């Protein structure tokens, strides 16, 4: 197995009070037991593995030796180190097929509990707004409970509210063009299931949202990444070149406060992109999950505002603006597409939760106020994060985003995956840029959210600063002796 793959599947192995070689051995055991490292696979050579983990070679040598002694590994001259059947009877139940689209991805890692002493700078999950200010819902819930059947497309009251929101944005919409989903992730997965067969081509921004890549890979699609300009979004010249040589099923992109770069596509570029899509009979899936999070830059109109023949399908969500736990997303498309998506959704879950839809419909009445409240929360946190980075990590490079929740940070000349391994030993979880790349590029970048409260931002960047200083000493000292916090 390649070093990068093994590192991704190890997860948060450096967290604990044991010596590093023991923590590494325990991390490898866990990955083997859970099927993330398949039986009979070959582990990386010691020197290369040590570099990828930001530890000394002696740490890897000791971990491998311990696992060989316990019967987990075997090493042969010229053949490397191979994983054996775990030496416990219960392991027989874990002989499963490894699924790379789910086992080692950030979207699955974020679903599990993390130790309290870790600061998570990998996730993009804002805290809930003060929901008491968003209105009472007892009456709405009583109406919902009067429904005596499943509503595949969603509660009509919520669908009408969303249709009216689009109409106010200059995109005439009726409720038959809205499908309510369990978050934007389900919306993307449903579109993948509707449009894609194994081997089909999808165009995406590079870098892009990892959850979309997971959904497309889950159905066997081939991904082709189009680079993102940090000021104007997806490169239209390269998109046009790609369209001249291939026939993708659709293009997925986040043109407003792009995830992860924060780029905003200007209006003229939006018009050109839609025109290009119409000329090439290309369906465009526009993910507007972050577009409500305006800080000091107004969001341009959605791509659908410039489409004359319904080539643009829009995905939205209430998770970032209101509350992640609400799990309310949606798709806006033609009634025919919405009907087909609703049939797929019924197979999965029969319909979105009705009480959540009642909450969402009521809260949407405070949409404008919610945007202002979220701005008041995020703007000072963005500015504090940048100020602390300038003070403690002046070598790091980034743009100041006008909205969204992320900084896209370049660690010039440093492998972000290896630094993320070191940062975990200082109690900070990072998301390396290659995890958001179609082709594993952007290895010198991290996506850094500015979502935490002021104390956690201060503490997290202070820890990162110490980790960065330690990284500079790795060529002078044994990495396993560097002090760290867990």
> What is the per-residue DSSP string for 380-438?
HHHHHHHHHHHHH-TT-B----SBSSEEEEE-TTS-HHHHHHHHHTTTEE-EEGGGG-T
Q: Span 286-304, mean pLDDT?
A: 97
User: Does a structural domain hold residue 325?
Assistant: yes
Strand duo 283-287 + 250-253: pairing: parallel
150 and 77 in a single domain? The answer is no
- Model pLDDT, residue 289: 97
User: Does a structural domain hold residue 486?
Assistant: no
Cα separation, 349 vs 151, in Å, equals 11
477 and 451 in a single domain? The answer is yes
User: Does a structural domain hold residue 206?
Assistant: yes
162 and 305 in a single domain? The answer is yes
- CA–chain centroid gap for 197, Å, is 23
Paired strand residues for 313: 285
User: Does a structural domain hold residue 446?
Assistant: yes
Q: Which long-range contacts (CB under 8 A, 24 or more apart) does 223-226 make?
A: 223/438, 224/248, 224/438, 225/437, 225/438, 225/439
Cα separation, 186 vs 169, in Å, equals 24
Query: Which of these three, 350, 366, 382, is where a domain ends?
Result: 366
- DSSP code at position 75: E
155 and 83 in a single domain? The answer is no
282 and 375 in a single domain? The answer is no
Q: Span 349-364, mean pLDDT?
A: 86
Cα separation, 253 vs 244, in Å, equals 19
Nearest Cα to Cα of residue 248 among 213, 284, 214, 274: 284
User: Does a structural domain hold residue 100?
Assistant: no
| pLDDT for 479 beyond 50 | no
pTM of the model: 0.84
- CA–chain centroid gap for 355, Å, is 27
User: Does a structural domain hold residue 101?
Assistant: no
Strand duo 42-43 + 329-332: pairing: unpaired
Q: How many domains does the chain have?
A: 3
Q: Span 389-394, mean pLDDT?
A: 97
Query: Which of these three, 366, 393, 415, is where a domain ends?
Result: 366
Is residue 200 within 8 A of residue 251, CB to CB? The reply is no
357 and 218 in a single domain? The answer is yes
Least trusted range by pLDDT, from 15-24, 264-273, 409-418, 474-483: 474-483
Q: Span 229-234, mean pLDDT?
A: 96
151 and 235 in a single domain? The answer is yes
Query: Which of these three, 316, 341, 366, is where a domain ends?
Result: 366
- CA distances (Å), origin 416, targets 193, 432, 444: 33, 5, 5
Where residue 18 sits, what CATH number does that domain have?
1.10.10.10
Length of the chain: 486
User: Does a structural domain hold residue 340?
Assistant: yes
Nearest Cα to Cα of residue 291 among 280, 299, 282, 303: 299
- Model pLDDT, residue 486: 37
355 and 449 in a single domain? The answer is no
| pLDDT for 483 beyond 60 | no
Could you tell me the residue range of the domain that residue 24 belongs to? Answer: 3-94
DSSP E strands, 84-143? 119-120
User: Does a structural domain hold residue 312?
Assistant: yes
Paired strand residues for 178: 332
| pLDDT for 28 beyond 70 | yes
Q: Is the dihedral of CA 288, 292, 295, 297 positive or negative?
A: positive
Strand duo 445-449 + 431-432: pairing: antiparallel
Cα separation, 380 vs 435, in Å, equals 28
340 and 402 in a single domain? The answer is no
Where residue 465 sits, what CATH number does that domain have?
3.90.1150.10
Is residue 485 within 8 A of residue 116, CB to CB? The reply is no
pLDDT digits (tens, 9 = 90+) for 300-348: 999 999 998 888 999 999 999 999 988 999 999 999 999 999 999 998 8
Q: Span 117-144, mean pLDDT?
A: 76
Query: How many other C-beta atoms lie within 10 A of the C-beta of residue 24?
Result: 26
Cα separation, 363 vs 357, in Å, equals 10
pLDDT digits (tens, 9 = 90+) for 63-116: 999 999 999 999 988 889 999 977 655 444 344 444 444 444 554 454 444 556
376 and 466 in a single domain? The answer is yes
Where residue 204 sits, what CATH number does that domain have?
3.40.640.10
306 and 402 in a single domain? The answer is no
113 and 70 in a single domain? The answer is no
| pLDDT for 440 beyond 50 | yes
Query: At 255, phi and psi to the nearest 5?
Result: -75, -10
């Amino acid at each position: 197995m390649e070093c990068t793959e093994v590192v991704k599947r190890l997860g948060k192995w450096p967290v604990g009070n044991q010596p590093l070689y023991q923590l590494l051995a325990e991390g490898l055991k866990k990955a083997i037991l859970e099927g993330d490292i398949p039986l009979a696979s070959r582990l990386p050579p010691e020197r290369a593995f040590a570099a990828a983990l930001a530890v000394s070679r002696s740490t890897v040598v000791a971990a491998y030796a311990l696992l060989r002694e316990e019967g987990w590994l075997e090493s042969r001259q010229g053949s490397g180190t191979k994983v054996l059947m775990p030496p416990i009877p219960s392991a027989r139940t874990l002989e499963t097929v490894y699924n790379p689209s789910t086992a080692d991805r950030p979207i699955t890692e974020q679903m599990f509990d993390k130790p309290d002493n870790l600061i998570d700078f990998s996730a993009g999950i804002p805290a809930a707004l003060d929901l008491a200010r968003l209105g009472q819902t007892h009456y709405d819930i009583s109406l919902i409970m009067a429904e005596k059947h499943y509503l595949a497309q969603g509660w009509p009251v919520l669908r009408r509210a969303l249709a009216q929101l689009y109409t106010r944005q200059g995109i005439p919409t009726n409720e038959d063009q809205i499908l309510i989903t369990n978050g934007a992730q389900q919306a993307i997965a449903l579109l993948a299931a509707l449009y894609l067969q194994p081997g089909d081509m999808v165009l995406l921004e590079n870098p892009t949202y990892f959850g979309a890549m997971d959904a497309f890979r889950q159905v066997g699609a081939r991904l082709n990444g189009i680079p993102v300009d940090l000021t104007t979004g997806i490169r239209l010249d390269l998109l046009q070149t790609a369209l001249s040589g291939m026939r993708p099923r659709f293009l997925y992109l986040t043109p407003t406060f792009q995830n992860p770069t924060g780029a905003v596509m200007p209006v003229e570029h939006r018009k050109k992109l839609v025109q290009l899509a119409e000329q090439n009979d290309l369906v465009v899936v526009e993910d507007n999950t972050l577009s409500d999070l305006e800080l000091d830059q107004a969001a341009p109109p959605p791509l659908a505002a410039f489409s004359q023949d319904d080539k643009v399908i829009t995905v939205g969500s209430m998770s970032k603006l209101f509350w992640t736990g609400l799990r309310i997303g949606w798709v806006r498309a033609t009634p025919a597409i919405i009907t087909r998506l609703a049939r797929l959704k019924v197979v999965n879950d029969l319909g979105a939760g009705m009480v959540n839809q009642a909450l969402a419909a009521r809260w949407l009445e405070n949409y404008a106020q919610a945007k202002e409240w979220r701005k008041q929360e995020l703007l000072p946190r963005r500015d504090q994060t940048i100020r602390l980075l300038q003070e403690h990590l002046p070598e790091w490079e980034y743009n100041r985003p006008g909205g969204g929740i992320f900084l896209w940070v370049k660690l010039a000349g440093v492998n972000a995956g290896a630094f993320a391994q070191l940062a975990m030993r200082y109690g900070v979880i990072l998301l390396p840029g290659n995890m958001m790349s179609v082709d594993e590029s952007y290895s010198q970048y991290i996506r850094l959210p500015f979502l935490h409260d002021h104390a956690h931002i201060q503490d997290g960047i202070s820890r990162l600063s110490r980790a960065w200083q330690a990284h500079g000493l790795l060529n002078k000292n044994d990495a396993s002796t560097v002090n760290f916090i867990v």
